[in-house]
Structure formats: C-alpha cells, structure tokens
Amino acid sequence: MSDSLPVLPLKDTIIFPQIVVPLAVGREKSLAAIEAAVAAGGQFIAVAQEDPGIDEPNLGDLYVTGTIVKITRVERQDNGSQVIVQGDRRVKLLSQTDEDAYIAATYEPLIELDLSETSSDASEIEALLRVNREIAQRIATLYDTENGAQIYQQLVGHLTNPVIQMYRIASLANVEVSKQQETLECETTLDLMRKVNGILTHELRVTELRREITESARDDIEKQQREHVLRQQKQAIEEALGEGGDDEDIAELRQDLKEAKLPADIQTEVDRELKRLGRMSANAADYQIARAYLELVAELPWHTTTDDNLDLTHAQTILDEDHYGLEDVKERILESLAVMQLNPKSKAPILCLVGPPGVGKTSLGQSIARAMGRSFERLSLGGLHDEAELRGHRRTYVGAMPGRILQGLRRAKVMNPIIMLDELDKLGRDFRGDPSAALMEILDPAQNKEFRDNYLNLPYDLSRVMFITTANTLEGVPRPLLDRMEVLDVTGYSDLEKKSIARNYLIPRQRSEAGLKNDQLALSEIALEQVIRRYTREAGVRELERVIARLARKRARQLVEGESVSAEVSIDTVAELLGPERFKQDGSRDQQHSGVAAGLAWTEAGGDVLYIEASRTPKEEKITLTGHLGQVMQESAKAARSYVWSIAHRIGLDRDKIEAEGIHIHVPAGAVPKDGPSAGVTIATAIVSSYAAMATDPKVAMTGELTLTGLVLPVGGIKEKLLAAHRSGFTHIILPKDNEADLAKLPEIVKDDLTITLAGSLDDVLQVAIPMLKLKA
C-alpha cells in the first residue's frame, strides 16, 4: 500500500517502463489529473481504458495494471495539453480515493523484470531474445518506408537492456491496445519474451505480405506501360506505311457477323459498313465507332430463341415454389400459358402488375421467366426522362449508345426473353422528350415487329419478346399505354399471410444466405409475430425480409464466435438481436380526443391510417385547412362542413352559433401531400365530434366519400385500407355500402378480426363512430 496518485485514463496507448511517449490530453478530467500531478511532484499513473469508447471512465472501466510515469514537459495548447512523459514502473491499481475533479487511486508496485532473475528459464530467454532481435532485423530490411525501417533498426542497434528493448518493440508495433496491455502485464521475463515473439512473428508475416502485394501491383503497371509503348510504336509504323485497319480484326468481325446469320436486308447494310471500315485507318476516331457498331450487330440475337416450356403443372410448381399466395395472378399466368399452348401464334399478353412495394411484383416476373424457361431482363424505368434512353442516340452523336431495350436483348442473347419494364409509374417526362411515346411503340404488337433504335438504325423484331410491366399505382400512367396492358392487382399481405411467407420463403432463404443450417435459426411463433408487428410496418414483405436477414447474420456471428445459443429465437432474444422495437404501439390509440377521427387512406405504399383533426376557431378564420391537402380534399372538407351545418339541429347544436364561428381542419404528417375524396366521411365525423365535444370510438376507422346531402359513396383501395387498419389494431371499420363486393377479396383472418359496418349515409357512420351521440330524427 502507498499513497494515492492521480490516474490518467488512456484511450489507445500503453506506456511501458522507460519508454518516452508524447500524450495529447484533451478531456477535462484528464487535464485536471495532469495539473494535480504537476503540483505534487510530476508523477501520475497511466492506465488504458478497456473500452476506448467510454468518454468519462471510472476506475472500473480501466485495466488494473498501469504504469507510473514522470512528466518531463507540459505544453499547454488551446484545446488541451501536450504532455511528454517517461514510463517509470509498473503498478497495480488498488482502490479509488475520493476525488471529484479527476480519478486518483492507491496502488501497489509490481516487480521489475530483468535478466538477472537467473532461473531454469535463462537459456530459453536467451534464445528467444536472439530470435526476436533477428526477426526485428528482418522486418527492418523489408520495410519500404525509411521511418519503419529506422524504428526496427534502432531496436536491434542499441544495446540497451533487453527487457526495455522488448517493451519498446511492443510499444511501437502495429498491434491492438489489448495485445500491448497483455505485454505490460507479463509477470516474468520469459512470458515477456514469448509475448513479444508472437507480436513480431505476426508483424513479419504482415510486412512480407504487404511487400508481395506492392510488388505484384508494380509488375502489373510495368507490363501495362510496356504494352502502351509498343502499341504507340506500332501505330506510328502503320501511319508511316500508310496502312490502316487491322485486317485480322476485321476478318474476325466479319466472321462473327456471318455467324449471327443476319436477315438479308440487314446483311446488305452490314456489308456496306464492313467495306467502309476496311478503308479506314485503325487510328481514325471513326474506326472505333464503326467497329463498336458492327460488334453490336454481331452480338444482337437475330435468330436464337429458347423453347418455351408451357407445361402447366411445371409452371404451377415453379410459381408456388417462389411465391406464397397471389392466386389470382398465378391463375392468370397459367391461363396465358394454356392459350399459348393451343395457339402458338397468339401473342403473349402484356401483364401489368400493380401493387404496393415489396409484394413480389419484380420477383414474380423472374419466376414467370423461370417457369417458362425464358431468360429474364429487368429495365428499371424509375427516373428515366429521356426517350433516347429507351431508343438510343443516333450514331452521329458523341458517345452514342443503343437504347436500353436493345442493350437488354444483347445481354439476353435470345430474341424472346421476358423483359420487365419495372416501375412504369416512375417514368419521367420533360424537355428531353416523352419516353412513354417510345414505350407505346415498343409495346404495340402492330409496330414492334420493326422496332427502330436510333443507334442501330435498322429494323429489329421485338414481337417475340414477352413484356411485363410493374407499377405502384396506375395514376399518371398514360391511358393509351394502359390500354395495351392487362392490369393485375397484387395487394398487400395480412399478418397471417406474412407469417406464412416468412416461414416458407424468407426464413429458409435468409438462413441459407447466411450459411446456417435448419437447426441453427428458427423463430418461435410469437417471436415471428413480434418481428412482423414491432419491427416492420408495410404492405409487402421487403422490410420483413431485411429484418430476417439481419437476424440470420447476427445468429451466424454468434455461432462463429462460439457462443452457445439455442436454435430458436424466442420473444426475449428478438430485442437482444434486433435492438429496440421500431413500432412501439399499435397504430390505433387507446383514447381519442373529441374532434379527432381515424380515416383510412390509400397511397402508393399501400393502405395507411390518417387521423383527421377538427377544432373550432374564431369566426374571422372561417375554414382553415392544413396538412398539405390537395384540391379535391379541400373541397370535400368544405362540403362536409356544410352538411354538418345542415344537420346541426339533429346533433343538438345551435346552427346560428356554429355558423358564426370558424373551424380548422388538420391532417397530421403535414409534409405528406394528400388528396382524393375518400376522406369525406372522416372529415365530417371529426367536425361533428368537435362541435358536439364527444370523442370518437378509438377502435373505429373509416373511409368513404360524402355528398352534400349526406350520402356515403364508394371509394377505391378497400383491401389495402382494411389490411392497414388491421395492421394498426383497429377492430371496427366503417365502409361505404356500395363497397360490399370488395369484401370478398379479403383474407378470412382479417374479416374475422374486424367488425365491418356498411354505411349508406353519414347517420350510419356517426352512430358507430361517436357512440355517445344521440341523433334526433
């Protein structure tokens, strides 16, 4: 035991006895420790933190073994101090003495290592010492940088105390702090020699490897330079001789073109190009352009097709193998196959898969290709503005290229791939031309037999391609384009369907992605439910697949690190692996204020719950609408208010009074634009609730358009809206009476969980939504 000394926690350094180290001190407590040390004789204890991430460590966050150091110089700077210290001796920290401004602790000195502990180990120590010096020498010669070499040379050169020499190696070597700490903790000289031997061997290997890598890179560069020079010389010779064109090159190209078996008229064109190429100098800028063009012609498929597999059982098997449910869509695909079987001349229909993100539209396209044995190419239309991207640029353009359709065919190498035009609704349109015009031609069976790409500038037959398009919404897709396609709705999934998809598709897939065996990752029923409800909120399963992938990776890491874990992820381990829940609460609220009503909206991302708020305001403000509402929604808000006024007496309100004041209607998530008439009943309900000062039932959500006479009209997106309401925990839904037919498409489980009221008029709505309200006749 001894007096106590200030303690300085170190983030990424270890200070060894006798070694001089500059320290940059910035933390307030550390500066205080230095000041105290200077005042009391210039000594403190330097100890590394176990976790450098901790900003205000306690004694418990530090290693136990540290070093007493002497301050040789302190330079105070703007943002801290630069302190030069020299290690003195190793100590063990005992207990914290009470100090607020900085840590201080009592300590116990540890033995000082030296060679004089003559023992049975002496010869082994001697041997290791020599080996270590040799390795250091080798490293020194391998080092490229002067600096590195010097470091190690110094080590071998100076005949200092061997123990100090080892400490110096450990302090300079490129190893983690924890390794250095282990070195500091060595209790015998033999241990120390062994530890440093480990460090040096590792360092040697790394240095050798690094050198090999640099050398092989250097060889590469030299080879490239040589080729470059040779090529330039060759060019100069050719120029001098007036020779152009590389005959061999052209012969090869001619051969490739012959093998492409071009249609006769195309062959004529190509022959002309080839002749032109033959007359050109290989250095002419045009030569490369003409050559690239002919290469494209040679690589495009002009004859090759794959045979379709139209076997229905086979197709059904593949489709089921890849996707759960989606019965309507699968059915429709099988029908098309049947027709193609009976009438081989019939054209494959252009399917357009419409639905929220993550419901499997893109992957369904892949699956259809797999079922039919066709190759598959996907072109994302998102953000595509320029017609030329689809149709190519004329060759006279600098950097001209064929359009994406031809590029896809070139990749596919067959004339009859499935080409998926993904995200049709994200197609842009601006001054560069309207790509939808080009699409119209591509998708028109009457025109696409002779499709003209600007770059190719020859007719190309697209009629054997099967096109499939996808979109989140059909809004904004030009009508004539829509007319060419057969629209198939792919709706979102209920929690139960998501569970099946996860069990049968996503979990097995991610398990094998992560290289896990079946018994290494399983989810209990409630754990899976937890994942679906608390970590994702979406119509599709994209996010769910990501979360499961994350689970699989975490599990893989645990296994690799040798943790023993049970195969099944239980409800308790979910949070441990995935972190805190992302969606704390169900969307529905436990309690509702008056003036608030829950509406159901439909967006591109699927259904969503939208709370609509109404609040009375002074008269001058009349009607205020906020929350980024579109024109149609604003009008339906005004209509709703007028209708509520007209039934004021039946709600028990004084019409003159409410007409004399204003009302404010707000739809939160103000930055998201909202529009459409389907919030009419919700707005009216919120207004009534506000006027009557009675809350709506928090478990009720609604949708429907409202007329000026109080009738409820049908709206779209019912299935998505109901799925969203179910996801968010609502139990009672009010729908327009005329939407009854849409209920047929709803999964049973959702229907079982929900009470549904079909409303013909606002009266029907109010009775359910505001239970306390008594409507007078």
Residues that bind Mg ion (CB under 5 A): 362
Residue 323 interacts with, from ligand ADP, Mg ion, none (CB under 5-8 Å by kind): ligand ADP
Considering the complex, state which of residue 181 and residue 362 has its C-beta at the smaller distance from Mg ion: 362
Considering the complex, state which of residue 142 and residue 487 has its C-beta at the smaller distance from Mg ion: 487
**Two tokens at 610?**
């939208």
**Two tokens at 351?**
């399917």
Q: Identify residue 203 by its one-letter amino acid code.
A: E
Q: Which residue is nearest to ligand ADP (CB)?
A: 360
CA-CA distances (angstroms) from residue 74 to 23, 37, 39, 529, 679?
10, 11, 12, 60, 71
Question: How many Å is the maximal CA-CA distance in the chain?
Answer: 110
DSSP state of 711: B
Neighbours of 716 (CB within 10 A): 13
Active site residue 449: no
Three-state SS string over 630-661 comes to: CHHHHHHHHHHHHHHHHCHHHHCCCHHHHHCC
Considering the complex, state which of residue 353 and residue 610 has its C-beta at the smaller distance from ligand ADP: 353
Min. distance of Cβ 477 from ligand ADP in angstroms? Answer: 16
Taking the C-alpha atoms of residue 640 and residue 762, their distance in angstroms, rounded to an integer, is 10
Q: Identify residue 433 by its one-letter amino acid code.
A: G
Residue ranges that bind ligand ADP, judged by CB under 6 A: 323-326, 357-363, 501, 505, 540-542, 545
Considering the complex, state which of residue 362 and residue 491 has its C-beta at the smaller distance from Mg ion: 362
Min. distance of Cβ 322 from ligand ADP in angstroms? Answer: 7
Considering the complex, state which of residue 330 and residue 393 has its C-beta at the smaller distance from ligand ADP: 330
Min. distance of Cβ 531 from ligand ADP in angstroms? Answer: 15
Closest by CA to 357, choosing from 748, 728, 747, 720, is 720
**By CB neighbour count within 10 A (0-12 exposed, 13-18 middle, 19+ buried), where does 564 fall?**
exposed
DSSP state of 540: S
Considering the complex, state which of residue 88 and residue 422 has its C-beta at the smaller distance from ligand ADP: 422
Taking the C-alpha atoms of residue 591 and residue 695, their distance in angstroms, rounded to an integer, is 8
Residue 363 interacts with, from Mg ion, ligand ADP, none (CB under 5-8 Å by kind): ligand ADP
DSSP state of 119: S
Active site residue 678: yes
Neighbours of 345 (CB within 10 A): 5
Helix (H) or strand (E) holding 334: helix 327-342
Pairing relationship of beta strands 486-489 and 351-354 according to DSSP bridges: parallel
Taking the C-alpha atoms of residue 43 and residue 87, their distance in angstroms, rounded to an integer, is 10
Min. distance of Cβ 315 from ligand ADP in angstroms? Answer: 16
Min. distance of Cβ 681 from ligand ADP in angstroms? Answer: 31
Backbone angles phi, psi at 43, to 5 degrees: -125, 145
Min. distance of Cβ 317 from ligand ADP in angstroms? Answer: 15
Min. distance of Cβ 365 from Mg ion in angstroms? Answer: 9
**Two tokens at 122?**
């002496």
Residue 358 interacts with, from ligand ADP, Mg ion, none (CB under 5-8 Å by kind): ligand ADP
Helix, coil or strand: residue 120: coil
Residue 6 interacts with, from ligand ADP, Mg ion, none (CB under 5-8 Å by kind): none
Measure the CA angle with vertex 430, ends 429 and 434; round to 5°: 50
Helix, coil or strand: residue 690: helix
Considering the complex, state which of residue 358 and residue 435 has its C-beta at the smaller distance from ligand ADP: 358
Query: Helix 247-259 and helix 264-279: axis angle, to 10°?
Result: 180
Considering the complex, state which of residue 207 and residue 362 has its C-beta at the smaller distance from Mg ion: 362
Which one of the listed residues 336, 636, 678, 728 is annotated catalytic?
A: 678
Considering the complex, state which of residue 472 and residue 573 has its C-beta at the smaller distance from ligand ADP: 472
Q: Which residue is nearest to Mg ion (CB)?
A: 362
CA-CA-CA-CA torsion for 99, 103, 107, 113, nearest 10 degrees? -160
Q: Which residues pair with residue 610 across a beta bridge?
A: 599
Closest by CA to 181, choosing from 165, 155, 199, is 199
CB-based contact 377:462 (threshold 8 Å): no
CB-based contact 85:37 (threshold 8 Å): no
Considering the complex, state which of residue 454 and residue 536 has its C-beta at the smaller distance from ligand ADP: 536
Residue 633 interacts with, from Mg ion, ligand ADP, none (CB under 5-8 Å by kind): none
Which one of the listed residues 330, 361, 499, 721 is annotated catalytic?
A: 721
Residue 553 interacts with, from Mg ion, ligand ADP, none (CB under 5-8 Å by kind): none
Considering the complex, state which of residue 361 and residue 726 has its C-beta at the smaller distance from ligand ADP: 361
CB-based contact 173:197 (threshold 8 Å): no
**Two tokens at 484?**
């060419």
Min. distance of Cβ 469 from Mg ion in angstroms? Answer: 11
Considering the complex, state which of residue 468 and residue 684 has its C-beta at the smaller distance from Mg ion: 468
Considering the complex, state which of residue 382 and residue 480 has its C-beta at the smaller distance from ligand ADP: 382
Residue 541 interacts with, from Mg ion, ligand ADP, none (CB under 5-8 Å by kind): ligand ADP
Helix, coil or strand: residue 710: coil
Min. distance of Cβ 361 from ligand ADP in angstroms? Answer: 3
Min. distance of Cβ 353 from ligand ADP in angstroms? Answer: 7
Helix, coil or strand: residue 696: coil
CB-based contact 83:107 (threshold 8 Å): no
Q: Which residues pair with residue 105 across a beta bridge?
A: 5, 96
Residue 719 interacts with, from Mg ion, ligand ADP, none (CB under 5-8 Å by kind): none
Min. distance of Cβ 328 from Mg ion in angstroms? Answer: 18
Measure the CA angle with vertex 78, ends 74 and 81; round to 5°: 25
CB-based contact 4:97 (threshold 8 Å): yes
Q: Is the dihedral of CA 205, 206, 212, 213 positive or negative?
A: positive
Min. distance of Cβ 733 from ligand ADP in angstroms? Answer: 24
Residue 595 interacts with, from Mg ion, ligand ADP, none (CB under 5-8 Å by kind): none
CA-CA-CA-CA torsion for 593, 595, 600, 602, nearest 10 degrees? -120
Rg (CA), the chain: 38
**Two tokens at 553?**
């990776």
CA-CA distances (angstroms) from residue 111 to 8, 91, 119?
21, 8, 16
Residue 599 interacts with, from Mg ion, ligand ADP, none (CB under 5-8 Å by kind): none
Min. distance of Cβ 466 from Mg ion in angstroms? Answer: 18
Residues marked active site are found at: 678, 721
